[in-house]
Structure 1
Amino acid sequence: MAPWLGPQGGSESPGAGESRGGRYCRTMARASLETAPSLASKAGWPTGQVQRASGQRSGRTEGRRGTKHGPGPEPEEEEGGPAGLWAPWSPDLVVEVAHPQIIHDFGAQILSHADLLVGSPSALAHRDTEQRLLEASRRSGRSVFVARGALWGAEDIARLDAAGGLQSLRVTMATHPSGFRLEGSLGQGPRQGPPRAVLYEGPVRGLCPLAPRNSNTMAAAALAARSLGFDGVVGVLVSDLSLVDRHVIDVELSGPPGPSGQSFCLRTRRENPAEPGAVTGSATLTAFWSSLLACGSPHPSEAGLRLC
């Protein structure tokens, strides 16, 4: 059983009159419709029901513009707006796989209708967004699942932390610069640099707004290590010209010194094959599918965030 954690897109431009939220909603819907049948097929599930459900509704859905990395105003309560999405459906689970802006803008609203699987954990680095999700979960009794993605050993990190045995946690993600989707000050940097360069080293909370699509593994680690959180877990983003076809994630953790003065320590390395320029490695798809299946397993209805 995954641990319960208590309180604590593309580059296309929007068209005329279209908001950022509307563009990401449409991107999320398109990605879901295109991939759901193939994912079901990979898992050996019949695709007929997935395809029929995917085709029940079409058309563009627009939302209001939010801040770049924070929640915007409440969405419009009208047919064709975000609230109108629910009219033909009674979903058990809504899966976000588009961009953290979806969670910022619509996560709390989704929880009034269904459980939510957050595929962009970097959204939870925004304190207001995390708080709104927790409050909505308590009000509705719905669950907030958070996909671990490429994080190896999430349960072990959570258990060690719960036992008081975690003092430091550092997650390094390295890949070719073409695999980054950077924003803010990082996005303004030069495209070509030295063969290997550290782009960021510091608290995960500071990295997530700058690399929302490249920091999800680090965000999942911050959620697993509750005592450290987004401010205590260190994230390191590395550009490496030699890593054309893979993403490399190193996790380093240590505990407090024992009576002998020695400390428990652990280092893991995950090398995930990836297409050149891809944001996500090939093995992460399987990990995400396992997270999705975990959402459907029997579990108590509890408020809070559940890493799965």
Structure 2
Amino acid sequence: MPLDSVPRRVGVVGFGRLGQSLVSHLLTQGPELGLELVFVWNRDIGRMAGAVPHSLQLQDLTALGERHPDVVVEVAHPKIIHDSGAHILHHANLLVGSPSALADQDTEQKLREASHRWGHAVFVARGALWGSEDIARLDAAGGLQSLRVTMATHPDGFRLEGALAAAAKTPGLRTVLYEGPVRGLCPWAPRNSNTMAAAALAAPSLGFDGVIGVLVADLSLPDVHVVDVELSGPPGPSGRSFTLRTHRENPAQPGAVTGSATVTAFWRSLLGCCQLPSKPGIYLC
């Protein structure tokens, strides 16, 4: 069944595991859903050879407006959002696959300004964050006091920078690499903090400075990403607080940054944002 009566033109930025999956879905299932793939861009153009029709390969990201997309999906790296997010919003709605980019306050501000200037929405994929709607509702109702997200996996699954990269090379069986505000983690783990960044966006009363992120290297987890979410509300009349803990185990190929279930969730995020109105602002999807 089509999403609506108006075809949606979709561009994909990035051709790693997520990008390849999205392109495949768009080429095989897109037409019956009213979705048309209009371009694919990747930093290494050669990676698309034989997998993406040449007519769909975009050589220059600054020329994306020539393809007239309705929504552009970023599944590359936070740097794309830093450098090109505002430009994309000039032409289309933006689905962000690297929400860690929004930990940079200047980047978030530029996206908000461009969104309002051009009337396009910034959608943020929830990725591996389980229960994002419930977190958002609790936060909006004033019932959220603390939120903590722990991600654990084998160190081969990390793509870290700076001091964290060195720490991950010589871990014990289970080593806490970082524990603190999510804003401080994102620059050092831009590809491994997206779940935590999504949580910070789901809970704006806490945000990147109030949501706590914990990154754990665990040698006993070669083929799974484990995400634990813990939250609590303010004390009630009895003195007790509402608390919730979720534990998510996402199978992953050894050394992979993205778990299997996250790939499926991202396709659903794209379908979801294509059914939402284009209005200024930042929204989880």
TM superposition score normalised by structure 2: 0.85
Would the alpha carbon gap of residues 197 and 266 (structure 1) be closer, same or farther in structure 2, given more than 3 Å must change?
Answer: same
Q: 1:28: how far off?
A: 1.8
Q: 1:300: how far off?
A: 3.4
Would the alpha carbon gap of residues 29 and 42 (structure 1) be closer, same or farther in structure 2, given more than 3 Å must change?
Answer: closer
C-alpha separation in 1, matches of 2:282 and 2:159: 26
Q: Tell me the equivalent position of 2:112.
A: 134
C-alpha separation in 1, matches of 2:16 and 2:259: 20
Q: Is the 8 A contact 1:40 1:46 kept in 2?
A: no
Amino acid at match of 1:39: H
Q: Tell me the equivalent position of 2:14.
A: 28
Q: Is the 8 A contact 2:252 2:259 kept in 1?
A: yes
C-alpha separation in 2, matches of 1:105 and 1:260: 50
1:123 and 2:101 correspond = yes
Amino acid at match of 1:135: E
Q: 1:40: how far off?
A: 3.5
Q: Is the 8 A contact 2:13 2:75 kept in 1?
A: no
1:307 and 2:278 correspond = no
Q: Deviations over 1:56-94 (max 9, x none)?
A: 254643xxxxxxxxxxxxxxxxxxxx433322x110000
Q: Tell me the equivalent position of 2:25.
A: 39
Amino acid at match of 2:157: G
C-alpha separation in 2, matches of 1:44 and 1:244: 34
- The one of 64, 70, 86 aligned to 2:65: 86
C-alpha separation in 2, matches of 1:117 and 1:139: 17
1:175 and 2:153 correspond = yes
C-alpha separation in 2, matches of 1:30 and 1:176: 20
Q: Deviations over 1:181-227 (max 9, x none)?
A: 00011112351321001000000000000000000000000000010
Q: 1:34: how far off?
A: 4.1
Pairs within 5 Å for 1:144-183: 144-183=122-161
Instruction: Please identify, of 169-178 and 191-200, the stretch whose mean Cα deviation from structure 2 is larger.
Output: 191-200
Would the alpha carbon gap of residues 214 and 32 (structure 1) be closer, same or farther in structure 2, given more than 3 Å must change?
Answer: closer
1:277 and 2:255 correspond = yes
TM superposition score normalised by structure 1: 0.79
Report percent identity of matched pairs: 66
What value does the CA root-mean-square deviation take over the aligned residues? Answer: 2.4
C-alpha separation in 1, matches of 2:281 and 2:19: 29
C-alpha separation in 2, matches of 1:227 and 1:33: 32
Q: 1:274: how far off?
A: 0.5
Q: Tell me the equivalent position of 1:213.
A: 191
Would the alpha carbon gap of residues 190 and 302 (structure 1) be closer, same or farther in structure 2, given more than 3 Å must change?
Answer: closer
Q: Tell me the equivalent position of 2:218.
A: 240
Helix, strand or coil: the match of 1:249? strand
C-alpha separation in 1, matches of 2:155 and 2:85: 31
Helix, strand or coil: the match of 1:255? strand
Q: Is the 8 A contact 1:219 1:230 kept in 2?
A: yes
Q: Tell me the equivalent position of 1:185.
A: 163
Report the number of matched residues: 261
Helix, strand or coil: the match of 2:135? helix
Q: Tell me the equivalent position of 2:87.
A: 109
Would the alpha carbon gap of residues 115 and 188 (structure 1) be closer, same or farther in structure 2, given more than 3 Å must change?
Answer: same
